[in-house]
A = this chain, B = another copy of it.
Amino acid sequence: MSKTIIAIDAMGGDFGPEVTLAGVARAALAYPDVRFELYGEEAAIRQHLAKHKGLESVSTIIDCEMSIAMETKPSVALRQGRKISGMWKAIESVKNGGASACVSAGNTGALMAMSKIILRTLPGIERPALAGIWPTVKGESVVLDVGATIGGTPSQFVQFAVMGAAYAKTVLGVLTPRIALLNIGVEDMKGTDAVRDAADLLTRSDLNFTGFIEGTGIGQGEADVVVTEGFTGNVALKTAEGTARQLGEYLRQAMSSSLMSRIGYLFARSAFAALRERMDPNAANGGMFLGLNGIVVKSHGSADIEGYATAVTVAIEAAEARMVDTIAADIEKMQALLDDAWVGVLD
């Protein structure tokens, strides 16, 4: 097996190389054979790299003359950052076979646009999807699309299902992922036409399709892969994040409301630390663009060191499990069914 190399958009994210390099260094501890390409301003990278001696020996710095700002519109980022930005060069390295995967905490829209242009979608995939890892009471699930595109046809939902299942198999280690379609009711009659037609297609496929799932079922871990279109998926993901923040606030208020509750907090503080960790969005950090000819992991812009390390770990695991090959092979197997669906549209 060839050496795994991860391309890092080192300047990306709200905190830049201070956090990204520390995150890479932490992930590197568990994977001593993996090498890293660090894209960005050489001086800034050298300064922070000096703090992580272990990382220095397994890294190559590639100096880039510009970085994409977090708030730049994707169209502008493409025009300004084409060929010369760290983000572009990191993705290009995946395309050229230099790196096995790339990781960025930078501008999501720009990363998506560049990834599509450089890597292109796999044969049989119409649109890439952004997949998120969702912590559940049973472990973790994959939810997609959480915001790469808006809307979707039945065939696209099936493609998302194949991509999500490959992610669950290779990164989460679920042998036969349970796939469900996000809907507003579990009766057959509910939902949009696209969702209902997608359910018909999935029922006829070889995938382990378990039917519809409602918003309440995601956190309960009722499915390993939750398929939806990008608008709904993004709203669901952000609503869950908002609710977790809200309840964290309630908990903080409750625990400081009286002397007794403050004493209680002191006794229970290790339990609270464990709870905070489970509620921490960084623990499940590492969205992935699926459906491309290469692996691109999107870390949350505000991810801390641990969050960024998780994103790097996801990239390493997906690369070493050859996730892209799995998706390509699984989509090919589905081609007859998908062609059929397409003919159905023309009828």
Contact = CB atoms under 8 A, between A and B. Distances in A.
A218 B242 contact: yes
Contacts of A44: none
A240 B236 CA distance: 8
Nearest to A135: B246
A230 B265 CA distance: 41
Contacts of A216: 238-239, 241-242, 245
A329 interface: no
A342 interface: no
A147 B255 contact: no
Given A232-B231, A238-B214, A243-B219, A268 B274 contact: no
A247 B279 contact: yes
Contacts of A232: 231-232, 235
Interface string A232-274: 1011111111111111011100110110110111111111101
Contacts of A263: 264, 267-268
A347 interface: no
Contact of A267 (B244, B246, B267, B272): B267
Contact of A236 (B147, B215, B264, B272): B215
Number of copies: 2
A332 to B, nearest CB: 32
Given A150-B191, A261-B267, A251 B251 contact: yes
A79 B137 CA distance: 42
A243 B245 contact: no
Contacts of A254: 268, 271-272, 274-275, 278
Tell which of A237, A243, A263, A270 has the most Cβ of chain B within 10 Å: A243
A182 interface: yes
B257 A274 contact: yes
Contacts of A261: 267-268, 270-271
Given A230-B184, A257-B274, A264-B268, A150 B235 contact: no
Interface string A5-26: 0000000000000000000000
Nearest to A146: B184
A260 B249 contact: no
Contacts of A30: none
A251 to B, nearest CB: 6
A346 interface: no
A60 interface: no
Interface in A262-311: 263-272, 274-275, 278-279
Contacts of A57: none
Interface in A197-218: 214-218
Contacts of A234: 184, 215
10 contacts: A73-B189, A150-B184, A191-B231, A220-B246, A231-B232, A235-B236, A239-B240, A250-B279, A254-B272, A254-B278
Instruction: Give the 5 A-B CB pairs with smallest separation, nearest first.
Output: A264-B268, A215-B238, A264-B267, A261-B271, A215-B239
Given A219-B246, A254-B274, A254-B278, 5 more contacts: A150-B184, A219-B243, A231-B232, A263-B267, A264-B269
